[in-house]
Amino acid sequence: MRALAPLIADKAEQAEQERKPVDEVIRALEATGVFRSHVPKKFGGFEIDPETFVDIGLAVSESCTSTGWVTLFYIEHNWMLSQFPQQAQEAVFGRQPYMLAPAALSPTGAATPVDGGHRLTGRWGWGTGIMHADWVLLGGLLTDGDPTSLRMFLVPRAQVRVDLTWDAAGMQGTGSNDIVVSDVFVPETHSEPLMPMTMGRGRGSDWLGSPCYRHPMIPLLCLAAGVPALGAARRAVALFKERLAARSVMGSQAKQLQLPAAQMRLGHASARVHDAETVMRAVARELKHWGDSGEPCPFEERGRMRVSVAHAVDSCRTAVREVMEASGASAHLKPHPLQRIHRDVHTLSCHTIFDLDASSESYGRMLLGFPPSSLF
């Protein structure tokens, strides 16, 4: 993965211009076998630990935030499929080494129970991974209207329509376009209730019997979405450090690196990024602990991990903003990678999983003995 860094960095601007991951980069990533990372060993996968998941994400995201985002979500969505029944896993992993799939958790689909399964209709935004997908994972509510009846449905890519709606200030290279399904039949074996999945207790997890699939899902999602911000912030700080040595102070012969204010900016930003990485790696180790323990991770602990990663992402965003402010106007020109990192991190940090108001409220309620304000 680290060997691919120059290629990924070289294609980052192209990904943004094309509003999707670059085909050559996806092929190169596939050649490494990285998308087998969360595929069960039963099907030839690697069942990596969560901290290795962080390492992989950093190796890609330091070169391109969007490509790191898509890479980690592709990996994580194979973990999600491993929560599905044995028949669904065999239908995919039994025929191909991994799947490339978006996973839209929002319950914007309606699922009507019929003999042998459900009929699914809906539109889902934020379809990260759809541009190279062979399958899709979609959230849908049963038509009884019960919010706890949310299920995830596994649908072949050929049975969905993609609307090219993705045009954002940042993260353009993810190609996270809308997914549309109209009255598609999904067999019972190709769906799974979401709530057990969030605890690592889907039917497939029981069948596999591996600790890799027994930890909670939402903190893993937090890492999949958060590590790209960390990789981007690390790269931004490195670029700022390089820039200090070359940039002259207006009206003098001094270099910017000689200014105490610039030295302070670099020190603050470096410490923020270091602390954010410490938090994310701690969450990764906690996930491994809960998988190994065999015990369900309590809701309160899941809530705390979500808030912790959200704070870490906020620190990454602050670090990027601080170095961007001190990098001069030329850093905002399109050829310079800092301007893309700045836009990417500010867009990425608005993902609903990092909503600090909502996540902190829910966690605080649990600390006070009230029920959480969110199902997740």
CATH code (residue 159): 2.40.110.10
Residue 375 maps to a domain: no
- Residue 247: phi and psi, rounded to 5, are -90, 130
Residue 164 maps to a domain: yes
CATH number of residue 26's parent domain: 1.10.540.10
Q: Which of 269, 290, 176, 283 is nearest to 224 (CA)?
A: 283
pTM here is 0.97
Residue 207 maps to a domain: no
* pLDDT confidence of residue 148: 66
Q: What is the pLDDT confidence band of residue 161, given thresholds at 50, 70 and 90?
A: very high
Residue-wise pLDDT for 237-288, tens only, equals 999 999 998 888 776 768 899 899 999 999 999 999 999 999 999 999 999 9
Residue-wise pLDDT for 102-122, tens only, equals 999 998 999 999 999 999 999
- Residue 55 and residue 146: Cα distance in Å, rounded? 39
117 and 59 both lie in a single domain: no
Exposed e or buried b per residue across 170-201, where buried means at least 16 C-beta atoms within 10 angstroms of its C-beta? bbbbbbbbbbebeebebeebbbbbbebbbbbb
222 and 340 both lie in a single domain: yes
249 and 332 both lie in a single domain: yes
Alpha helices (runs of H) in 2-64, residue ranges in sequence order? 5-10, 12-18, 23-32, 50-61
What are the structure tokens assigned to 39, written together? 């595929």
Residue 209 maps to a domain: no
CATH number of residue 226's parent domain: 1.20.140.10
126 and 47 both lie in a single domain: no
Q: Could you identify the residue written with the tokens 């620190």?
A: 315
Rg of the chain over all Cα atoms, to the nearest angstrom: 21
Q: What domain range includes position 54?
A: 2-93
Residue 343 maps to a domain: yes
**Which secondary structure element, helix H or strand E, spans residue 196, and what is its range?**
helix 194-198
- Of 125, 159, 192, the one marking the end of a domain is 192
Residue-wise pLDDT for 299-309, tens only, equals 999 999 999 99
What are the structure tokens assigned to 291, written together? 């998988």
Number of domains in the chain: 3
Q: SS3 for 52?
A: helix
264 and 167 both lie in a single domain: no
